[in-house]
């Protein structure tokens, strides 16, 4: 099967790359072994939220200069990043995802600890706050569906209370949710969202929210609205007679899955082929080129392409695998930057910077993967599998995925036009 570009990994980086290339007329395929880390998305994309000492960053573009030379942002280059940033919002908008915020200055969102956290782009389900003003309300009603164990109201409330906000926690039950409560493990965000997706409960829900939040300036709710049905959040926001502020819950993330599906549909509508639940088993290399890949499901029918992109993610997405002896890329055994001895992979304190978070596939300056010391000239690396960043501590994960994917897409298109 012949494609212009085959992308391995169907998360934020892979889909961004696929959509960008398909928009420019390329025939693309994405091979994704299962669903991606977008399923755990908090609702906000971070560009750079914390500096190297862990302090909050207000102006991420300025702070990029203080990152190490090995950091993916520095390797892309600050000026290039500024160019690429202008592509982000249109790409998401055209797919049907609406985000708030911009890269010049971080805004705040409320996290499940009831604290404000700086971020770059936030999906329009959530409320964003101006860093100069903070949360503008003094009296908030915090509502939860009784029996829902993945939204921790007292954590949120105590965090907000420490900023001087009065929060009242209220639980309420509705008949429509009793059915899932019958299942001892499945009162999860997504299963609640599926009930809202049917829309029959929305009116009753709005009425209950309005009753329970009477006398409050705003109402905080868990982010459990609009899984497969993207109109639910809007309907609820319009129906409730005061500002609604959603708070992320324990995964799976309802807005995350909706984002994944929206991006997937955009890719498919552009003619992209998405091989879900399939994984690349081997590649055929010839000198410094990758000619084709074979997957578990497609067997002897190879996926042939001019360019390939590795967007397989970090450890938790199995982009990198650790055996007791070494850390490796399970797809092509590309060269990996990591420490040799396993004692050096970890820090004894879970909250310290873990060395393994910085590991990734080695690339040249043009983001070509390196295999046995040699750059593979048509195999590019994007997203969390890039080395040199601790995206958790920096708050840079989504930024690296989006920007490296856009950067590499441009490189692929330029290489394409040269040939």
Partner 1 sequence: MNKNNSQEYDVIIIGGGITGAGTARDCAMRGLKVLMVERHDLATGATGRNHGLLHSGARYAVTDPESASECIKENMILRKIANHCVDETDGLFISLPEDDLDFQTQFIRSCVEAGIPAEAIDPDLARRMEPSANPNLVGAVKVPDGSVDPFRLTLANALDAKIHGAKLLTQHEVMGIIKEQDRAVGVRLLDRHTKEEKTYYSKILVNAGGIWGHHIAELAGVKVNMFPAKGSLLIFGHRVNKLVINRCRKPSNADILVPGDTISVIGTTSDRIPYDQIDNMCVTPQEVDILMSEGQKLAPSLATTRILRAYAGVRPLVAADNDPTGRNISRGIVLLDHEERDGLAGFITITGGKLMTYRLMAEWATDLVCKKLAIDQACQTAETLLPGAKKRDNFSLKNATQAIYSEAPLSLAQKAARHRHGSLSTKIKDKNEYEDSMICECEGVSVGEVNYAIEELHVNNLVDLRRRTRLGMGTCQGELCACRGAALLCAKSDNPNAVKDDLADFLQERWKGMYPVAWGETINEVEFTSWIYEGVYGLKPEKN
Partner 2 sequence: MKNKKPYELFNISDNNFEQCVKCTVCTVYCPILAVDPDFPGPKQSGPDGERLRLTDPKYYDEALKLCLNCKRCEVACPHGVKIGDIIQAARIKYSKHKPTLRDTILANTDFVGTVSSAFAPIVNTAVALKPVRLAMDLTLKIDHHRIFPKYSGMKFETWYKKEAAATQDLYPHHVSYFHGCYVNYNFPQLGMDLVKIMNAIGYGVHLLEKEKCCGVALISNGLIKQATRQAKHNIAAFEQSVVDKGMPIIGTSSTCTFTIRDEYPHLLGLKNDTVRDSIELATRFIYRLLNDEKIVLKFKPDVKLKLAYHTPCHMEKLGWSIYSTELLDAIPGVDMFILDSQCCGIAGTYGFKKENYKSSQLIGKSLFDQINESDIDFVATDCETCKWQIEMSTKAKVKNPISILADALDVEATMKANGVVLKKES
Query: Longest Cα pair distance anywhere in the chain, in angstroms?
Result: 71
x/- letters, 45..84, toward partner 2 (CB under 8 A)? ----------------------------------------
Among 73, 120, 216, 332, binds partner 2 (CB under 8 A): 332
Please, where are the H alpha helices in 348-396?
391-394
Least distance from C-beta 147 to partner 1, angstroms?
5
Stretch that binds partner 2, among 53-61, 165-173, 282-290, 393-401 (CB under 8 A): 282-290
Q: Binding-site residue total for partner 2 (CB under 8 A)?
A: 57
Spatial distance between the Cα atoms of 230 and 226, rounded to a whole number of angstroms: 5
> Judged by CB under 8 A, does residue 185 bind partner 2?
yes
Q: How many CB atoms lie within 10 A of CB 403?
A: 27
At a CB cut-off of 8 Å and minimum separation 6, what does 171 contact? 143, 144, 145, 146, 153
Can you tell me which residue has the tokens 């829902």? 148
Spatial distance between the Cα atoms of 135 and 243, rounded to a whole number of angstroms: 12
Stretch that binds partner 2, among 45-53, 79-87, 107-115, 187-195 (CB under 8 A): 187-195
Spatial distance between the Cα atoms of 409 and 157, rounded to a whole number of angstroms: 44
**C-alpha dihedral sign at 112, 98, 309, 50:** negative
Q: What percent helix, strand, coil does the chain show, rounded to 5?
A: 35, 25, 40
Among 227, 246, 357, 412, binds partner 2 (CB under 8 A): 227
Name the binder of 241 from partner 1, partner 2, none, CB < 5-8 A by kind: none
Name the binder of 134 from partner 1, partner 2, none, CB < 5-8 A by kind: none
Spatial distance between the Cα atoms of 267 and 11, rounded to a whole number of angstroms: 12
> Judged by CB under 8 A, does residue 330 bind partner 2?
yes
> Judged by CB under 8 A, does residue 33 bind partner 2?
yes
For residue 79, the Cα-to-chain-centroid distance in whole angstroms is: 24
> Judged by CB under 8 A, does residue 373 bind partner 2?
no
C-alpha torsion angle, residues 189, 190, 192, 193 (rounded to 10): 120
Tokens matching residue 72: 């993916």
Q: Which residues bind partner 1 (CB under 8 A)?
A: 37, 40, 42, 111-113, 115, 117, 146-147, 149-150, 152-155, 157-159, 162, 178, 181-182, 184-185, 187, 248, 250-251, 253, 314-316, 318, 321-324, 341-343, 345-351, 354, 356-357, 392, 397
**C-alpha dihedral sign at 181, 182, 184, 185:** negative
Name the binder of 314 from partner 2, partner 1, none, CB < 5-8 A by kind: partner 1
Of residues 70 and 326, the one with the C-beta less far from partner 2: 326
The residue ranges that bind partner 2 (CB under 8 A) are 1-2, 33-37, 39-40, 179-186, 188, 190-191, 194, 227-228, 251-252, 257, 268, 273, 275-279, 281-286, 294-295, 297-301, 316-318, 321, 323-324, 326, 328, 330, 332-333
């Amino acid at each position: 099967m012949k494609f212009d570009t085959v992308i391995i990994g169907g998360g934020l980086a892979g889909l961004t790359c696929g959509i960008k290339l398909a928009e420019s007329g390329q025939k693309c395929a994405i091979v994704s072994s299962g669903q991606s880390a977008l399923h755990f998305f908090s609702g906000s994309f971070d560009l750079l939220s914390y500096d190297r000492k862990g302090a909050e960053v207000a102006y991420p573009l300025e702070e990029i200069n203080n990152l190490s030379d090995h950091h993916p942002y520095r390797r892309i280059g600050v000026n290039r990043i500024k160019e690429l940033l202008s592509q982000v919002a249109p790409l998401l908008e055209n797919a049907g995802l609406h985000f708030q915020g911009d890269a010049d200055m971080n805004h705040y969102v409320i996290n499940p600890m009831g604290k404000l956290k700086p971020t770059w782009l936030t999906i329009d389900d959530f409320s964003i706050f101006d860093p100069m003003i903070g949360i503008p309300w003094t009296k908030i009603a915090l509502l939860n569906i009784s029996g829902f164990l993945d939204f921790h109201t007292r954590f949120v409330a105590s965090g907000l209370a420490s900023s001087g906000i009065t929060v009242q926690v209220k639980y309420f039950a509705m008949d429509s949710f009793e059915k899932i409560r019958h299942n001892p493990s499945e009162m999860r965000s997504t299963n609640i969202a599926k009930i809202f997706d049917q829309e029959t409960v929305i009116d009753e829900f709005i009425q209950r929210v309005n009753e329970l939040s009477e006398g409050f300036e705003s109402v905080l709710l868990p982010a459990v609205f609009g899984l497969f049905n993207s109109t639910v959040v809007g309907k609820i926001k319009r129906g409730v007679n005061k500002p609604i502020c959603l708070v992320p819950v324990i995964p799976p993330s309802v807005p995350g899955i909706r984002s994944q599906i929206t991006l997937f549909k955009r890719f498919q509508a552009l003619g992209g082929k998405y091989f879900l639940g399939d994984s690349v088993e081997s590649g055929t290399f010839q000198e410094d080129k990758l000619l084709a890949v074979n997957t578990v499901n497609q067997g002897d029918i190879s996926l042939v392409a001019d360019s390939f992109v590795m967007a397989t993610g970090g450890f938790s997405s199995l982009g990198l695998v650790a055996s007791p002896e070494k850390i490796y890329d399970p797809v092509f055994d590309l060269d990996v930057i990591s420490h040799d001895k396993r004692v050096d992979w970890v820090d004894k304190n879970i909250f310290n910077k873990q060395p393994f978070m910085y590991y990734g596939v080695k690339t040249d300056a043009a983001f070509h993967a390196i295999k046995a010391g040699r750059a593979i000239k048509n195999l590019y690396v994007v997203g969390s599998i890039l080395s040199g960043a601790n995206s958790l501590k920096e708050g840079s994960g989504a930024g690296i995925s989006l920007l490296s994917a856009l950067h590499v897409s441009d490189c692929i298109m330029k290489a394409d036009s040269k040939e």
